[in-house]
A and B are shown apart, each in its own frame.
Chain A
């Protein structure tokens, strides 16, 4: 019975259920074609990469008790910068130059993250408002970079980060998993994770305990910016163009949803990267399933809403107790959770 009580049990069940549905409805769930993995499952994994990267950064930000609304705008800027520079290349297929340009775009995203972090940690603005500024202005910057146009590029190395395969696994998913593994190593094999949770629990107490709370706060926003930039590259590489309006539109809500589905509390102080991974893949699987099952496009959002409501309720211990009739001793008054 203990496994049912695990906070990731219900999200995992829903994820598996969605995959099973896909197994029956899709033509090919997973096969090898031309030496690549092909089918719905690799498609879901590949498509989940941008959301996974954004949600990963978001997890760290939320662990410190903050929130980053600007990720969508950062995605748009990073894609716009990359496409603008690649378009001006003499040879768009030069791997070295493309890599350099991608580094420049991610560097720009890191700077944007630094801006967010400074506003939150140094100026002391509430995170939701501090990042709202970049969310509003950032999309304007992206539009300025692309001059309001959609920039198309014909660069095969650039497209490869979204659609290519390495050892028959989608490169986009490999990038996302590499970022996840690196983050897990850095946070769980060093003291960093503990420090993050400590700052999330109480910045003041952490500072008094000798933790450089301000530096850690800035750092998570920088990381979140960088990961959003990487996600923006994958997004724009996937469509081989920079679209400053729709790139990363509303992804902040999906990312926050993924983080919360994964059991990270929005008040900060604890986080689960495994949970975020499940959450992000779940959301992507949901989007793919909606199309696969043939839900009419006008009901897509309604379908998603029903699943999200079910997920929220399934994660609430109180709800499970009330529904499954497990009235044991009433729990003591627990602290209310301010958002």
Chain B
């Protein structure tokens, strides 16, 4: 497509308002946070904030490997990714494939998508609620099978896991919807041709469906990673990072440093840490946007 050369009045009208707001409320604060992270209490440039934060047991607590949770917010975020990412991605794909030929599949899809629609603050209450000893639905199910029931968010070993599984319940709708949309775009003729060649459904799944869904998978993984790294509301209402810091995450720790201790230097360091990891996660997205912009 040939682009027209913009004249000054075009820039003023189309671009300037957006560019200005982004510059003032997004770019400037981002740069300011980076500089803040290098400024010490005395106002001089220093690495002491980084040293203090990175050695803090709030962020990484290696004792966790001997005695169990907490491991520190950074490791908790990594664990969140390690469990939640494959779980939601596969679950979404699996459900998308199954629900395609089910009577009332759209209703089930809508039900599962509900978790995506509700505010995460409510999501956190729901998660806390389902793992509650007396009123929680998880314990009802466990009780039916005669298993131990407890308030899962109250124990250091299970608090983080409960939040992770609860957030799977909330987030699975995302990959489900994306994969469902992706499946629609695969021409039926591909399958018909393969069927004539005598391919089994499993084979077709691996040889046609998965490769053709690759662009979607990239998006699902990227967005899910971003979501996991930014996780805040759920933890804030469900456990506030407890017990004993066993379900603490980076975003919550940043808030604690910044808006409870009012220590902006340390808060800035944690913010930079989160941002670096989200940028790494977003590389494919940024690259494709950069290529497209040519």
A and B associate in one complex: no
Footprint of A on B, CB under 8 Å? none
Footprint of B on A, CB under 8 Å? none
